[in-house]
Amino acid sequence: MCGIVGYAGRRPCKPIILDGLRRLEYRGYDSAGIVLIEGDGLQTVRSVGNLDALFAAAGETSSKATVGLGHTRWATHGRPSHENAHPHDDCTGRVSIVVNGIVENYKELRAELTARGHEFKSETDAEVVAHLIEEHVDEGLTAAVCAAARALQGHHAFCAVSADEPGAVVGTRNQCPLVVGVGDGEMFFASAIPAFMAHTRTVIVLEDGDVVTLHADGAEFCDVAGAPLVREETVVPWDDAAAEKGGYETFMLKEIHEQPAALRDTLAGRLLEDGTVDLSEVGIGDEMLRRLRRIFIVACGTSYHAGLIVSYAIEQLARVPVQIDVASEFRYREPVFDPDTLVIGITQSGETADTLAAMRLAREAGSPVLAICNVMGSQATREADYVLYTRAGLEIGVAATKTHTSQVAALLLLALRLAWARGARTEDELKRLGHELRAVPELVQQLLERDTAVSAIAQRYHDERFFLYLGRGMGFAVCLEGALKLKEISYIPTEAYAAGEMKHGPIALLDKESPVVVVADDGPVFPKLVSNIEEVRARGADVIAVATDGNEVIGELSRDVLWVPKCDHHVAPILTVVPLQLLAYHIAGIKGLNVDQPRNLAKTVTVE
Ligand code: F6R
């Protein structure tokens, strides 16, 4: 995440940049900063906390600067602090940069730059960009940005200014958003269009690898090798409210569509190109992973479902016994702890009262505690012994979507690392699964392009009074999540059951009136699930299946199928949940409900 704003024009730009940051605050709010070209030097203001702190600090100085950059941060590498806040400058203080995304090879680059005499002031991956530019800035800022972009691996967008080229801002992107706004005698950079919508609706959307130099009178485009490019302008027809949501109708839909990026960010630098997993940042060594005799997972709601999904994967891949419980039950059932039991608390907010209490209980009783969390500096991350961050960015919609799939991805990394450390599976097998997981963000992207099929199914079923969800194994856990999404935003009663349990009671609910959603990935229990689908059909109920492309058996047995791309069944839950999020979203939308703020719910539950 993180938000970037850049300006080159003729007006004093400090208020314009600060206003742009305010509109991007949803992208991160743990620290922020601004750099302005003042006279023949750079003036930088940075602060920790949300934008109010930056407004207060920046407000103390007046400025006539007409070129500058701003940044609002969602920390990934380095805690939220003054030193780690952007902008970062080079050793001379003549170059300053802001970065969104992750520089995957920053450790190598930092070591090389340090060996060449550069001194680093922050713990961030981003600062290498300033020093890389410094090494080439004599060739001009644009050439220096091209050189830096060529050296970086990972997904990122960054902008730079130099006191020696006071009229210019140069930016580039690779798999992270950066758009150009074309004004009258002024030009803008931003991570999202809303940042400059008060000034212009004429935009130029950049391609990966574009390098853009902005001056007050226009923009020049080239690729990272310096070859000139031509890019077209378009005019966006949004109103301001739509703009805040990046053109989506709701935050929930926007966040559903942000899942490929959230997954990419969560895996970046941890799932390596050869398919192996590096979680050294977490600080749990292989020796400790080998020593573990048991894992407890505690969480609430959607986070609990992520834990349930991966509890199967941990046992299957790493052969460590896992017990999972909702935190509100766990904390009062007097569980037995010991130092060889790892307790994993999963909480996107890091503030859920029951989960925090369960984690505290475990620590006090001598078990090590790992937090899987999305919010840097939150209570769970301060109290846990170890932290593995999801990097989904800020989630505003009350119904969790991108944070859920990111939790599953982060936990799968842990499962793979655990299996590797314990020698529970062959290295080849684990690398193959690593490659499967690396492919997931792209597969989710493809899946989101099939949304029209989901909305057609929502049209057909939106008037139903009850939905039953059936699945087995991880598919059952996905059913729990799909059923929760539908009930919490559409208020339609739902029930999710392990398909094999159906004959022990829930089958009594089946009739022609109630559709049954079946999650049918290609896992080992698929043949068993087919028998369950036959039982449903025999009672006249419509089956809406979620199944993998080309599964003819499901195609024949189901009235409707939500197809997902083929993948290994261990990673399938990240895919199969997406059509269920969209189904719930569309049904609630047809009913005219406010999906971002469903009744009676709060995004963070800080009371018992
Ligand atoms: C449902 C939802 C909730 C949360 C639960 C835990 O869509 O978002 O069920 O998952 O309140 O919240 P965190 O993960 O912040 O502890």
Clarify whether residues 472 and 579 are in a common domain. Answer: yes
Total of domains in the chain = 3
Rounded to the nearest angstrom, the distance between the alpha carbon of 408 and the centre of ligand 1 is 14
Clarify whether residues 262 and 127 are in a common domain. Answer: no
Q: Where residue 162 falls among pLDDT bands split at 50, 70, 90?
A: very high
Per-residue confidence (pLDDT) for residue 79, from 0 to 100: 83
- Closest ligand 1 atom to the C-alpha of 380? 16
pLDDT digits (tens, 9 = 90+) for 478-516: 999 999 999 999 999 999 999 999 989 988 988 888 999
Residue finishing a domain among 401, 417, 438: 438
Q: Is residue 75 over pLDDT 90?
A: no
Q: What is the CATH number of the domain that holds 482?
A: 3.40.50.10490
User: What residue's CA is closest to ligand 1, atom 13?
Assistant: 347
**In-domain check, residue 606:** no
**In-domain check, residue 601:** no
Alpha-helical regions (H) of 507-546: 526-538
**In-domain check, residue 604:** no
**In-domain check, residue 602:** no
Instruction: Tell me, rounded to whole angstroms, the distance of Cα 295 from its chain centroid.
Output: 25
Run of H or E residues at 441: helix 427-448
Per-residue confidence (pLDDT) for residue 304, from 0 to 100: 98
Measured from the Cβ of residue 102, the count of other Cβ atoms closer than 10 Å reads 25
* Strands 234-235 and 218-223, sheet pairing: unpaired
Clarify whether residues 226 and 255 are in a common domain. Answer: no
Q: What does the alpha-carbon distance between residue 429 and residue 422 come to, in Å, rounded to a whole number?
A: 14
User: What residue's CA is closest to ligand 1, atom 5?
Assistant: 301
Contact 147, 128 (CB under 8 A): no
Give the domain range for residue 557. 449-593
Q: What value, to the nearest 5°, has the Cα angle with vertex 242 and ends 54 and 9?
A: 50
Q: What does the alpha-carbon distance between residue 360 and residue 365 come to, in Å, rounded to a whole number?
A: 9
Q: Is residue 242 over pLDDT 70?
A: no
Q: What does the alpha-carbon distance between residue 539 and residue 424 come to, in Å, rounded to a whole number?
A: 43
Contact 4, 189 (CB under 8 A): yes
Lowest model confidence (mean pLDDT) among 9-18, 67-76, 104-113: 67-76
Q: How far is CA 306 from CA 404, 405, 487, 524, in A?
A: 6, 8, 18, 20
Clarify whether residues 516 and 577 are in a common domain. Answer: yes
Backbone angles phi, psi at 259, to 5 degrees: -60, -40
pLDDT digits (tens, 9 = 90+) for 321-377: 999 999 999 999 999 999 999 999 999 989 899 999 999 999 999 999 999 998 776
Give the max Cα distance, the chain.
Answer: 80
Q: Where residue 239 falls among pLDDT bands split at 50, 70, 90?
A: low
Q: Is 229 in the pocket of ligand 1 (CB under 6 A)?
A: no
Contact 437, 271 (CB under 8 A): yes
Per-residue confidence (pLDDT) for residue 240, from 0 to 100: 63
The SS3 assignment for 111 reads helix
Structure tokens at 250: 């709701």
Residue finishing a domain among 196, 212, 242: 242
Q: What is the CATH number of the domain that holds 10?
A: 3.60.20.10
Q: Is residue 595 over pLDDT 70?
A: yes
Clarify whether residues 398 and 455 are in a common domain. Answer: no
Q: Is 347 in the pocket of ligand 1 (CB under 6 A)?
A: yes
Q: How would you classify residue 500: left for phi > 0, otherwise alpha for psi between -120 and 50, otherwise beta?
A: alpha
User: What residue's CA is closest to ligand 1, atom 3?
Assistant: 301
Clarify whether residues 426 and 482 are in a common domain. Answer: no
Mean per-residue pLDDT, 135-161:
96
DSSP letter, residue 68: E
Backbone angles phi, psi at 174, to 5 degrees: -145, 105
Q: Is 303 in the pocket of ligand 1 (CB under 6 A)?
A: yes
Clarify whether residues 201 and 265 are in a common domain. Answer: no
Measured from the Cβ of residue 460, the count of other Cβ atoms closer than 10 Å reads 13
Per-residue confidence (pLDDT) for residue 606, from 0 to 100: 67
Q: How far is CA 338 from CA 294, 345, 589, in A?
A: 9, 16, 48
Ligand 1 mutation target, pool 256, 308, 326, 352, most atoms within 8 A of CB? 352
Rounded to the nearest angstrom, the distance between the alpha carbon of 241 and the centre of ligand 1 is 26
Would you name the residues annotated as active-site residues?
2, 603
Clarify whether residues 236 and 317 are in a common domain. Answer: no
The SS3 assignment for 389 reads strand
**In-domain check, residue 444:** no
Q: Is 352 in the pocket of ligand 1 (CB under 6 A)?
A: yes
**The residue count for the chain:** 608
Q: What does the alpha-carbon distance between residue 467 and residue 518 come to, in Å, rounded to a whole number?
A: 11
User: What residue's CA is closest to ligand 1, atom 8?
Assistant: 400
User: What residue's CA is closest to ligand 1, atom 16?
Assistant: 347
Model pTM score: 0.80
Q: What is the CA radius of gyration of the chain?
A: 25
* Half-sphere exposure in the Cβ direction for 384 (13 Å, CA): 31
Residue finishing a domain among 219, 242, 265: 242
Q: Is 355 in the pocket of ligand 1 (CB under 6 A)?
A: yes
**In-domain check, residue 95:** yes
Clarify whether residues 403 and 455 are in a common domain. Answer: no
One-character DSSP codes across 238-276: --HHHHHTTT-SSHHHHHHHTHHHHHHHHHTTTB-TTS-
**In-domain check, residue 600:** no
Structure tokens at 109: 């680059």
Q: What does the alpha-carbon distance between residue 602 and residue 608 come to, in Å, rounded to a whole number?
A: 13
Rounded to the nearest angstrom, the distance between the alpha carbon of 47 and the centre of ligand 1 is 30
Backbone angles phi, psi at 345, to 5 degrees: -100, 125
Rounded to the nearest angstrom, the distance between the alpha carbon of 441 and the centre of ligand 1 is 22
**Bridge partners of 311?**
none
Clarify whether residues 267 and 355 are in a common domain. Answer: yes
Q: What does the alpha-carbon distance between residue 261 and residue 156 come to, in Å, rounded to a whole number?
A: 11
Ligand 1 mutation target, pool 251, 300, 347, most atoms within 8 A of CB? 300
Q: Residue 256: which residues within 8 A CB-CB, separation 6 or more?
A: 401, 402, 448, 578, 581, 582, 585
Q: Is 399 in the pocket of ligand 1 (CB under 6 A)?
A: yes
Contact 145, 131 (CB under 8 A): no
Per-residue confidence (pLDDT) for residue 243, from 0 to 100: 65
- Closest ligand 1 atom to the C-alpha of 605? 11
**In-domain check, residue 385:** yes
pLDDT digits (tens, 9 = 90+) for 254-307: 999 999 999 999 999 999 999 999 999 999 999 999 999 999 999 999 999 999
Q: Is 407 in the pocket of ligand 1 (CB under 6 A)?
A: no
Clarify whether residues 165 and 276 are in a common domain. Answer: no
Backbone angles phi, psi at 294, to 5 degrees: -165, 155
Clarify whether residues 285 and 348 are in a common domain. Answer: yes
